[in-house]
Amino acid sequence: MPSTYSTNLKIELIALGEQVGTWGTTTNGNLGTALEQAIVGRVTVSFASDANKTLTLSNTNAAQDARALFLNLTSAVSLTATRDLIVPAVNKNYIVKNATSGGQSIRVIVAGVGVTIPNGKTALIYNDGTDITYQLDHLGALDLSGALTGTTFTFTGDGTFSGTGQVKLPAGTTAQRSGTPANGMIRYNSSLSQFEGYGAGQWGGIGGAQAGGAIMTNKTTASVSYTIASGENGLSVGPITVDSGVTITVATDQRWLIL
């Protein structure tokens, strides 16, 4: 009776009584190639043309790109649009780095929505056999030693905040809070390229009592200091309140969210 192969990693399963005298070679291939590649393996997957790329798995314990843990994506040509990396419909975790040329994103999919990885970024994803999702969507605590950067920041929960801190928002960032707005909340209005505060039932530009006196600034050309004037409400986020008379200094070419 011939060997069969496991569904997800294509480990060779020797039939009872088979491969007398040669089973050791098969076992070594399972352990030294197939399992090692799935646990720690890194391969380079190249997009040979400006088109989608498909990875397949076959019934062999020899090395296969689709089995590796880390997929380093490159391209032989400059990609002109987002391209798909189509992976087999198996249960598999991946670390995928988009190192392709042309500055385009790569979408990793099976047949569903998939996950889109920006150029130059690395993502930790999971293939559930139907679709690709991020492996993590919740962190109980996060301690960063460097700047927090990105394109969209959403602040959720009841608005409480213990301690003090700052979040640095690069140019082009959107800052927002989900849920029903309340006095003292802040957001970045990308259509108007300005930070706004919420007060008196509406959003308004920084600095006005109507806007709750949100101490936000969108400054990209020079250093600036802003003092909350008498009569402005200041900014309150949970237990932290900034009252009138406080001066906030924003450095050149930076946008700061003050918590």
Mean pLDDT of the chain: 74
Residue 248 CA to residue 104 CA, distance in Å, equals: 38
Q: Which region among 74-88, 122-136, 233-247 has the lowest average model confidence (pLDDT)?
A: 233-247
Dist CA 161 CA 136 (whole Å): 23
Residue 23 phi/psi, 5° resolution?
A: -60, -25
Residue 207: predicted pLDDT: 44
Predicted pLDDT of residue 195: 59
pTM assigned to the model: 0.64
Angle 152-165-203 from CA coordinates, rounded to 5°:
50
User: For residue 198, what pLDDT band results from cuts at 50, 70 and 90?
Assistant: low
Q: What's the DSSP call for residue 233? A: -
91-109 in b/e form (b: 16+ CB < 10 A) is ebebebbbbbeeebbbbbb
The closest of 108, 162, 160, 157 to 135, measured between CA atoms, is 108
Given the structure tokens 């990396």, which residue do they identify?
A: 85
Residues 131-156 pLDDT 10s: 999 998 877 777 766 665 665 555 44
Cα(198)–Cα(217) distance, integer angstroms: 14
Residue 223 pLDDT level (bands cut at 50, 70, 90)? very low
Is pLDDT above 80 for 181? no
CA distance 109 to 129: 10
In order of 66, 102, 151, 186, 224, the CA distances from 203 in angstroms are 50, 40, 21, 9, 23
| Mean pLDDT value of segment 37-66 | 97
The predicted model gives 15-35 an average pLDDT of 95
- pLDDT value, residue 110: 96
What is the number of other CB atoms lying within 10 angstroms of the CB of residue 163?
A: 7
